[in-house]
Amino acid sequence: MHAKDILIEGYARIQEEVHAAVEGLDPDGLNARPADDANSVAWLLWHLTRVQDDHIADAFGLDQVWLADAWEKRFGLGLPRHDTGYGHSSARVAKVRVDSAGLLTGYYDAVHEQTLGALRSLTAGDLERIVDENWDPPVTLGARLVSVLSDDLQHAGQAAYVRGLVQSAAS
């Protein structure tokens, strides 16, 4: 198995977890926050998708799906155009509300397709390309792809946990 195949498999796992996290949740469940400063399922999935969209687009010289396909307008969050949720205050987290799971999975699936297209084009040498010189040592494409994969899976797991809390409270 080649490195790009492993990355494709890893990113497919994110998609599975995103869909599982929202299955059967109504808008109240998607937007519920287990505590005042906690994140909702909606925020966690929106954030992980925004990070993947932002970082993959930047690393491969692509347009962000969020902007290119008007997902920003569909969500209508009233946040800055390039906001990914990084460092959000509790008040900003509260602004990320959705009316349906389909909005979250639709955006994620569109980002996932762009990500897969980028990953399929990879060669082994591409993984060594520097994509961010703001760190010491500079970040390679390979390291960035693994970083996004790790971050997204952590947030997907958090969304699954919050889902369980929300469902327990409702029963």
pLDDT digits (tens, 9 = 90+) for 32-54: 999 999 999 999 999 999 999 99
DSSP one-letter code for 62: -
Enter the pTM of the model: 0.96
- Write out the two tokens for 42: 């909606």
Alpha-carbon span 52 to 38, nearest angstrom: 21
Query: Locate tokens 């010289």: which residue?
Result: 61
| Residue 169: predicted pLDDT | 86
Phi-psi region of 118 (alpha: psi -120 to 50; beta: other; left: phi over 0): alpha
Q: Percent of the chain beyond pLDDT 90?
A: 94
d(CA 44, CA 12): 18
